Every structure is written in C-alpha cells, then in structure tokens.
A and B are shown apart, each in its own frame.
Chain A
Amino acid sequence: MIAEAGLAALWFAAALALLQLALTAFGLAGGKSDLLGAVRPVAVAQGVLTAIAFIALIALFLRSDMSVLLVSTNSHSAKPWLYKFAGTWGNHEGSMLLWVTVMGLAGAAVALFERALRRDTHMATLGGQAAISLGFYAFLLFASNPFARVTPAPQDGQGLNPLLQDPGLAFHPPTLYLGYVGLSVAFSFAIGALLTRNVDASFARAMRPWVLAAWVLLTLGITAGSYWAYYELGWGGWWFWDPVENASLMPWLAATALLHSVTVLATRDSLRAWTVMLAVVAFSMSMVGTFLVRSGILTSVHAFAVDPSRGTFILVLLAFYIGGALALFGWRVGAVREGAQFQMVSRETMLVINNLLLTVILGVVLIGTLYPLMTEAFGHKVSVGPPYFDRVAGPIALTLMLAMAVGPLMRWRRDQAGVVARRIAVPAAIGLVALVTLALTVGRTIGVLPFAGLVIAAGVGVASLAPLWKRNLLRTPLFTWGMVIAHLGCAVSVAGMAADSAFTQEKLVAARPGDRIDAAGWTIVFDRILPIAGDNWTALQADMTVSRGGGTPVAIHPQSRFFTTPPTTTTEAALLTRWNGQLYIVLGQEADQGRWQLRIWWKPFVTFIWLGGALIALGGVLALIGRERRGWQHKWRGRRVEA
C-alpha cells in the first residue's frame, strides 16, 4: 500500500510539473497572464508530493518490506536501523528519488520564498525548474522505478553492500545531492533570465542566496566524502583524482566561480553574460557528473550501479537540457550587454582573475577526466591520474590563493596600487617569514608544491583576516565575517594538504604480537591479535597501545573485517587524532610465521584539510544569513517608512 501511494505521489508530482510548465509557457508566451497565479501553488504541491514519495520509500526500508524489489535487493531485516534508513539512498533508484525530491523541494522553496525577482522572470524560472524536473521524473518512472513490487516476496533481503554500512552514508550523499541539485535553481534562474531578457544586478541579488546555499551543501558533501574515503579506504589518501571525485569537484568549482561573479554582477552590474554562463555550467557539471558515474563509461574505484541503458537515458536528458540551455544562451545573450569595464587595480579585477583561474582549473579537471575517452577513440589507452592533476591544478590553485589574499583588501571600482601594497605588507611579511623558516629547516627535502603551499597558506591565512583589521568586530557585517572565515578555511585546508604531502611518514612492518615498533616518534606496542564478532561481520582485531615521548599510552584497535554476503574483506583503520596530526594504522594480511603486515602513518596536520572545508562551509552559512538578514531589515524599514 505504501509503495503504491509513493508511486502515485510521484506520478501526480510529474503531472503537476507538466502543468507548471504549461502554465508558465502559456502565461508568459501566450499572454494569458492570469494563468500565472496558479504556478506557485502548483510548484509547492509538487514539492510536497515528491517529499511524500521519498518518505514512503524510507518507510518501506525501515519496515523492511521485502515485497518491494528495491528493498529486497538492497536491505536486510537484521540491519541496524540507521543503515535501513540511509540504505534508502544507498542504491540507484533511491538516490534518483532523492534527486527529484530535492529538485521538487527546491522548486517549492523558490515558489514560496523568492521575493526579489521580477515576476515574469520568477515565473520563467519556475517553468525552467518544472522542465528539468519532468525529465528526471521520466527517468525515475520509466527507467528506475523505486516502488516496483516483486512476487513472490523473498523471505529476506540480500542486504546492503557491507561497504556502505557506515555513518558516512547517512550524511555524505544527501548533502552532496542537495548541493548538486540545488544548483538546478541557479540553472533555472539563468533560463528564466534569458527568456525574459532580465539579466541585471537585481537578478544577481535574487540568485545569490540560492547559489550560496547550494555551494555550502556541496562543500560539506565533498568534505565529508573526502574524510569518509580517507578513513575507510585504508590507503591514507584523502583525494585520488578519481573520475567520481572529479565529478563532484567540477560543480563545486563552477559554483565557487559563480558565487564570486554573481557578486560582481550584484555590485557593479557587470559580467552579465558570463554569470549566466556559469549558472548554466554549474548544474550542467552536476548532470555530466551523474552521467559519468551512472553510465560506467569511466572506470572508478567508487563502485556504482552501472547500467549502459540508463546511461543512454541520462545522455538524452543531458543533450536536451544542457544543449537547450547553451542554444538559448547563444540565441539570447547577444542582446545582453556585458556592462561596465573595470579599472585595472580594483576588487572586480581580482574577482575576474578568480573566475578565470577557477574556470581554468575546471577546464583542466574536465579535460583530464575525459582525455582517456578521447584517446581511446583513436585506439590508444592512456591514464590521467594524480601526477597530472597535482602538477597542473596545484600551481593554478596556489595562484588563485594569492588573488584571494589581495582581492578582499581592494576597493570596488578603483584603488591605488601603493595603498593596496601597504595593506598586504603584514601578510606578505608573514609569508616571507614562513618561507625563510621552511627553507632553513626542511629546505629541499620537501617538494616544490607542498613548500609553496605552506608558505602561501601562512601568508593567505593572515591576509584573509586582514579585512577585519581596525574594524569594530561587532559591527562588521555578517557577510564580511562569512567571507573572512571561508577564505581562512581555504588557507587552513591548503596548509593541511601541504603538510600531509610534505611531512607524512610511512612505515611498513611485519610484526608479531608482543613486538614494539618505533615509527615517527610514536612507540607502538602490538599486544595481541584476536577474532571478534560484530553485527553482520567477524573481524581480526589487533590490540595495540601507542604512546609518544613518554606520554600516556592509548589503546587502539585496527581491524580486518570479513563479510560473507557478498564475500568481502575490509580494513578498518585505527585513527588516533592529536592536535598536530593523526596516527593511522592499518592491519594487513598475515605475512609469515605469525607476523602481521602493518601499515603505519603519522600525518602531521592532516585534519586541517577537513577543518578548512568545514570553515569554508561555515563562512558560506554566515554570508547567507548576513545577506538575508540585511534583505529583511531593508524590507522592514521600507515598510515602516511607508506606514
């Protein structure tokens, strides 16, 4: 019954999306503007229906209703409730339902809360949102129905892939999806603005909070995913430049560029066509990423349900939406004036440089990811991996950091180079001190890129705080705080990446219980190894006590886990976090004569990577609250004056 209700809700939602599209089309193009009054309620109803469908699927998973095919193939009644719940989106159909639910809710939010946009543009935006949703409803209903029944219902389910049974599953995919799909709002805004020829500063101010919100969620999703991969894979790495990771990075890069260009458009009424382009690109990258991941055309370490026929369906959606949007852009944007030109020394110039560099990184990641496909069309197999991306994206990203240090210290419109130089003097001096200190201490033992990363992180970290200099901190607007914290987060993150790559120490040993191992200043006593049993796994667990410099010993327990359905072995690394780094121990295979292979890392300041990510997201949240609050204050004051 619940399954049928969920399916019915989906069909109704799809019908409403069609209605929403028709209403906006006839209302705007056919001149029947009285139809437009119905658009917003329809959008809200559509959002509610998708939420009902999603809740229905969650209920089916929680109740372990094995007569539903999706539940029986992906769940098991004996699973902890958290994984039953999170397992809802731990599969293709469920995650696509999450996708349309986010899309429906985002559309409802735009209908309910968007007040700043011109009415016709608002309606065209909702029309655009409905048009995109329709394609994904079709995909769900015709090619990935999550509510299909199976007869006879099996006794019990096949279980969730044990690899996914981690709290990370509850957090990482939903935030990432909220971000991915949240960018569809910016996409629809761009479509709406192009259709109604309304690209200006007020449009940018209206779009900004939506972009910010999606960007914050995307940042959180990527940060969480990176940490999940880091502790689960047991390789000690936090980013592999794998196609699936690149697929999540590309929308983020586009959204970050968009976030900055939309500010230029809002403040100076310039970069109109460019901002619209970025809004189209950001969501396009989300869709391309989904296609790359689901179609299986690229090999990845991240296992996904791969199905070429579904790939074809998504490809058609891509052709339709991205192709359509880019064609609309080409057709309409000729009439959009790009706006005022800039003085060389001004904040807008720095923001343009930001956009330029972010777009180049995006281009490099995209080309690098697709390059093996291109060469294979010529019968030549190649691999493009971390060495390429690090070498190419690394220096560009560090240059971008420099622009990030200087940009916020410049005035809009025009500034004087000498004055800017004075403002940047202290951070530059800090950077110089870091440079000299590093050169004298570690010198040439670390690579050029990590070296530059540490120096730049030091300088930029200080520079990012400089906008607060000599200001009354209580009266500093919240969105300025947001910018400062997000930029500081970038510096913190880069410091973590550089420290990890420069100073990580690795030790491989084959040890027997009773052995003492010295690694990177730590003393590790391998006490014993013993089998233990968990919920649906058994494991070999190593009990160890570790201490540093005569400090209190701490017990840690790396494991090697065995699952039977399907037969898999996973490593559960033991992580010990200290303020200045993490000790990371992996229990490997039995080597010989009762000795066990251990992989031990000491990773100085590695946690800064994700701490920085969290700061970036926090900065985004503060900026969002700050902007919205100011908007409400203005409105409230305006109303009071009128009264």
Chain B
Amino acid sequence: MKRLMIWLPLALFLGALVLFAGRLMQPDDHLVVSKLVGKPLPVFTLPPAASDRAGLTSAQLATGKPRLLNIFASWCVPCAAEAPQLMALKQAGVEIDAIAIRDARPDVDAFLSRWGNPYTRIGLDARSGVQIALGSSGVPETFVIDGQGHIAHQHIGDIREDDVPKLLALLERAK
C-alpha cells in the first residue's frame, strides 16, 4: 500500500502529460455544435426580413424535400463572403431559406441587392430568439434540413468553395 502511494503522484502526472500532449496535437476548435442535429426543428414563425420575400415558419421547412436553412445577417462580413457559394448551390437546384439575425428590412434589402439573393423565404429574427432555439451560436451558419423537417447537419462558419459539393452530398443523403 505504501509503495502504491509513493508512485501514485508520478502515475497521475503521466496521465496528465498524455492529456496535455493529446490536446496539443488536437487543439480546441472553439465550435459549439447544436445538439438539435438529428432532431426536429423547433417550431417558429418569423415575419419577412426583406421587401420581396415572404417570412418563414418551421412548417414551411418540412416539405418532403431536403433544403438549406442559412443563418445570416446584413452586418456580418463572412455572410457576404459566402454569397457566391450560396448562389452556386441555388443554381444546382437547392432550395435555400434564411433567417436574418438582429437585422432591419432596409439593411437586408441593401445586402441582397449587393451580394445577390439565393433565398426563397427570409424570416427576420430581430432578437436572436429563433437562433438560440436552433442551438446556433453565430453567423453565418447553415443547416441541412431533411424532408421531415429534421436537422440533418449544421455547417458552422462561412461556406467555402470546397464545402459546396459536401453540402450537395449531404442534401442528397438527407432525401
């Protein structure tokens, strides 16, 4: 017993060392992933965020066909950066709905006329309530929604060019 106690500190330290080394090799990604992936969308109804697009309700996202739900804001720079990729997805026949976070209609209109409008419907989430309900932690984020209105995948951050085929594959799989 005494021998065990004598070597215990070294054993604990070696354990900690392994832990530290593991973390150094695989640093924290600082991403907070929504726990709702694989679960149904929360129920919500949002007013229109843009002059020429309708608002958005959760029921409109469960139409039997997989689609994308993009979380964006007119004040967010990466959201403008991912606009071409969203356009490309739209051209590939993907239906994209959006939620604009903490935004105002004139700002959203200006943003869309400048960077393009790939969205079918845009809901306005002025106080981030639906964003929080979705478990989303920032802008931009993109959710893949399957035909039954379940969240199939969450893409955190802006969509890069090489993410486009990945999202297309995920949409295919969500059918």
Contact = CB atoms under 8 A, between A and B. Distances in A.
B27 A323 contact: no
Given A295-B24, A315-B24, A326 B19 contact: no
A297 B20 contact: yes
Nearest to B3: A334
B169 interface: no
B24 A333 contact: no
Contacts of B9: 277, 281, 326, 329-330
B10 A323 contact: yes
B16 to A, nearest CB: 7
B138 to A, nearest CB: 15
B112 to A, nearest CB: 27
Given A297-B28, A329-B10, A370-B19, 17 more contacts: A273-B6, A288-B16, A291-B20, A295-B24, A297-B23, A299-B28, A311-B24, A315-B17, A315-B21, A318-B20, A319-B17, A322-B13, A323-B13, A326-B9, A329-B6, A330-B7, A377-B19
Interface in A250-307: 273, 277, 281, 284, 288, 291, 295-297, 299
Contacts of A297: 20, 23-24, 27-28
Interface of B: 2-3, 6-7, 9-10, 13-14, 16-17, 19-24, 27-28, 30, 32
B39 to A, nearest CB: 18
Nearest to A332: B6
A374 interface: yes
Given A326-B9, A333-B6, A315 B27 contact: no
A330 B27 contact: no
5 contacts: A311-B24, A315-B20, A323-B17, A326-B10, A376-B23
A288 B7 CA distance: 19
B19 A373 contact: yes
B20 A381 contact: no
Nearest to B16: A370
Contacts of A370: 16, 19
B10 A330 contact: yes
A326 B13 contact: yes
Contacts of A326: 9-10, 13
Interface of A: 273, 277, 281, 284, 288, 291, 295-297, 299, 308, 311-312, 315, 318-319, 322-323, 326-327, 329-330, 333-334, 370, 373-374, 376-377, 381
Contacts of A312: 24
Contacts of B10: 323, 326-327, 329-330
A323 B15 CA distance: 11
A376 B26 CA distance: 11
Contacts of A334: 2-3, 6
Given A297-B28, A333-B6, A334-B6, A373 B23 contact: yes
A288 B16 CA distance: 10
Nearest to A323: B13
Nearest to A372: B28
Contacts of B21: 315
A381 B32 contact: yes
A323 B22 CA distance: 17
Nearest to B31: A381
A376 B25 CA distance: 13
A296 B27 contact: yes
A318 B18 CA distance: 12
Contacts of A318: 17, 20
A377 B18 CA distance: 11
A323 B14 contact: yes
A246 B30 CA distance: 21
A330 B19 CA distance: 22
Nearest to B18: A377
8 A-B pairs with the lowest CB-CB distances in the bound complex, closest first? A326-B10, A297-B23, A330-B7, A330-B6, A326-B9, A311-B24, A373-B19, A373-B23
A374 B19 CA distance: 7
Contacts of A308: 24, 27
